[in-house]
Amino acid sequence: MSSTTIKSTEEIVSCSDNGQHPLVYINLKNGSGQCQYCGQKFIRISQTESSKKAA
């Protein structure tokens, strides 16, 4: 139901849709991801460029 894209600085985010589905982890190494259960979209943002490996 949610159309909000969640931004995270983590490579791995978790989603359970407030307990509506089993807890799953979504890998954002490619920059974005989507929960296979509820369709929640996540994007990865880089907060600290200095600590990030050069792509």
- Is the backbone of residue 17 left (phi > 0), alpha (psi -120 to 50) or beta? left
- Is the backbone of residue 46 left (phi > 0), alpha (psi -120 to 50) or beta? beta
Point out which span in 4-12, 14-22, 25-33, 41-49 binds Zn ion (CB under 5 A). Answer: 14-22
d(Cα 38, Cα 17) in Å, to the nearest integer?
A: 7
Q: Is 13 near Zn ion (CB under 5 A)?
A: no
Contacts to Zn ion from residues 22-51, by CB under 5 A: 35, 37-38, 40
Question: Nearest distance from residue 55's CB to Zn ion, in Å?
Answer: 27
Binding positions for Zn ion, rule: CB under 5 A: 15, 17, 35, 37-38, 40
